[in-house]
Amino acid sequence: MANSYYDPADLRKFGNITEWSEELGEKFFDYYGKVFEEGALSAREKSLIALAVAHVVKCPYCIDAYTKDGLQRGITKEEMMEAVHAGAAIESGATLVHGVQMMNKYNKLSM
């Protein structure tokens, strides 16, 4: 992707965040690694969740990483897209439910 704000090569530099804050960086990576270990959810399921969340938070690095991870774990393109839609539905619903707050405020102010 030429002339993009996000350089895909920067994803490989993620580990460098420990250079400016070693203790916190190492704690983050320990936590991150632990989260993605097999547990009640499989690593495959966690990868699919991570892909959906990556889209919701709009992280191009995460989208690249978890698309690749998902492919390596045998996640199909249909499963990936369904996960993206699930994330989008939650994000849309969260936005729209705040419309109730706006309606309440409008009703209160227009009395």
Q: Which of 31, 28, 35, 34 is nearest to 14 (CA)?
A: 28
Q: What is the pTM of this model?
A: 0.83
Instruction: Determine whether domain 19-108 maps to CATH 3.20.20.60.
Output: no
Domain ranges of the chain: 19-108
For 50, other C-beta atoms within 10 Å of its C-beta total 20
Per cent of the chain over pLDDT 90 is: 86
pLDDT of residue 1: 47
Q: Are 55 and 82 in contact (CB under 8 A)?
A: no
The Cα–Cα gap between 16 and 12 comes to: 9
**Contact status, residue 108 vs residue 77, Cβ threshold 8 Å:** no
pLDDT digits (tens, 9 = 90+) for 9-60: 888 899 999 999 999 999 999 999 999 999 999 999 999 999 999 999 999 9
State how far Cα 25 lies from the chain centre: 19
